[in-house]
Amino acid sequence: MDPPGPPGHSSGSSRGPIQDRWQLLKDVIEHQYINEKRKLLDLAEYMKVNHNFDAGVHQYKYQFRKWNLRKNVPSDAKTHIGRCLQTRAEAGRASTIIQYKGHNVDPRKIRRHLKDKQRQDSILKVYAPNTGVVANARLACGKNIFATWSMPYGAFRSSGSEHLSSSPYASAPSPYGDITIATPPSDGAPPGPRMLK
């Protein structure tokens, strides 16, 4: 008989079906991978040693796809977070906690993304004046220039159109429903998360 292990440590004889084990250990795996920033090989070794759960790197990748679990925040979500933070800053409210899919996001990542986006936009404005013609614009190549736009979008953008018409599917869920930004209220009460819609 196996000796009892520490909490969260399962003995080899109590193994259930493998999918049940994945679900039981999902929170531990998610915490170690995202919050503790472990690499896959390190995570597999950690789970093997501390939780007696032996799975290969490819199995972790499969489960992460199945759970829709990602370390990185997509750039459109970072842009949306940046807009929300800017709106809050203009209103005089400081944001303390930024979360994406329930996990904390480092504000430095958002700041870096916004600086990169601002640099790209300023480069495009210099080389694409408000003439409405972008197809013949040429960018001088250099070590700090990134041209990641397509001509149709560039033409649309320089045409002066600011807003698109609203979607006919008004009841569609918000694509940013998994972003949470906690802002301290102005009356001195503790901060509480607010879901963005």
Model pLDDT, residue 125: 67
Q: Round to whole Å and give the CA distance between 142 and 139.
A: 9
pLDDT value of residue 156: 60
The parts of the chain modelled with pLDDT lower than 70 are: 1-16, 95, 125-177, 183-197
- What confidence score (pLDDT) does residue 14 get? 46
Structure-token pair, residue 70: 């990602």
pLDDT at 172: 52
**How high is the pLDDT of residue 10?**
44
Q: Which long-range contacts (CB under 8 A, 24 or more apart) does 170-177 make?
A: 175/76, 176/77, 176/80
If one counts every other C-beta atom within 10 angstroms of the C-beta of residue 116, the result is 14
Q: Which of 135, 130, 139, 137 lies closest to 158, judged by CA? A: 130
Structure tokens at 43: 């995570």
- Give the containing element (helix H, strand E) for 83: helix 75-90
Write down the pLDDT at residue 25.
95
| Positive or negative torsion for Cα 91, 96, 101, 107 | positive
Domain boundaries, the chain: 15-67, 75-160+176-184
For position 58, what pLDDT does the model report? Answer: 95
Distance CA 67, CA 22 (A): 11
Confidence (pLDDT) at 12: 44
CB within 8 Å of 66: residues ≥ 6 apart:
none
pTM of the model: 0.51
State the sign of the Cα–Cα–Cα–Cα dihedral 174, 176, 182, 187. negative
- Helix, strand, coil percent content, the chain, rounded in steps of 5: 45, 10, 50
